[in-house]
Structure 1
Amino acid sequence: MMVPLDLLLPFLLASTLITVVPGADMAIVTRHVLVAGPRLAQKTVFGSLSGLLVHGLALAAGLSALLVASATAYTIVKLAGAAYLVWLGVQALRDARKPPGIELADGALPRRAYLQGLLTTVLNPKPALFFLTFLPQFVDRGRPVLPQTLTLTALHVLIGLIWLTAYAHLIARARRVLNGPGVKAWLERATGVAFIALGLRVAVERR
């Protein structure tokens, strides 16, 4: 086993707890379930997990350390991510004003859903901090570090896949009720406000 069992089990528990904490990824998944069902939301899930892989590979390549060490680089990524979240919030507020008969889904939406999940995660400096400060605590320095880092990254992504997929299907079960014209518009507004609030919080947060 690449990662010792006494380090692996605590990592799985901690990674699970961190994964289920609500954030931008769950907000986007919720919105896309309401737009077109869990199949569309799954594209967002894959995008978000691809973003985690980017951060994990960046850690392995040493880029995460550079991001955290450089205040300028950290600020640029943070503000870009904050602006993107605010933009998503504004889009949600605009969609809430559309008549109920107008569908938001089109042929390009699955690709857009994937990119939204990817960009939201890649432009969020928190995963970089997670991989740089949290993940190394579960690496045995007496063994090759790179295989352990990649293994823990893959496990974190797997936990994210299981949780976000299950969450999307749970939301989908309530979709008929939540997709009523008045309720759907209210949820779009609530999601939009949540995105904007997340973006503002990211913008003012310090490391």
Structure 2
Amino acid sequence: MPVRVVLIDDHEMVIEGLKAMLTPFADRVQVVGEVVGADNALTVIDQLDPDIVLCDVRMHRVSGLDLCREIRDRRPDQKVILLSVYDDEQYLFQAMRVGAAGYLLKGISSDELVRQLDRVQAGASAIDAGLAARAAETAARLQSDQFWPGARHGLTQRESEILSLVVTGLSNRGIAAKLVIGEETVKTHLSSVYRKLGVRDRTSAAAMALREGIFR
């Protein structure tokens, strides 16, 4: 029987692209449902009972990581694969923590995507090969405390760097100028920092960084 899949992304164009990628493999994969955004995702999944949910990591209103956690809390046996443009092992670690069965990059080929869906259906994990290799190296360095401040809290190197500048009192504009990046990029990284630290704003993030001794 084909693997039954539900697609979740907040861009309809991405969903249509995934459907087009999977159409030639109808004997192995069947797209039984699609959800634009996360609002009705849980309802659709409950109704369709798919084998695998293929979900974007970053959506406008809800993080795919948070949605994956909700799905797994509600349906512990549900397999969820997260799709991302972020080639960053820290996002992979976050995905594994919320119970994802896989973390794949959006540049994946259709053949490889179908192969990974088959792997997950058979009980294995689906992880981009290059990312998995770097994640193993990162895990080894974390165990020996050879890493950047904040890594143990799941922060990427760039997120840690931005948080350190928040602690010094720099505004988003000041951080952007210092790191030669856009202000919107700073805001995106800070949103990720807040989520990973479990805080709501820059003041709380700075306070937690000092309280936890992230920067010594």
Q: TM-score if structure 1 supplies the norm length?
A: 0.28
Task: Compare the two structures and name the one with the higher strand fraction.
Answer: 2
Task: Compare the two structures and name the one with the higher helix fraction.
Answer: 1
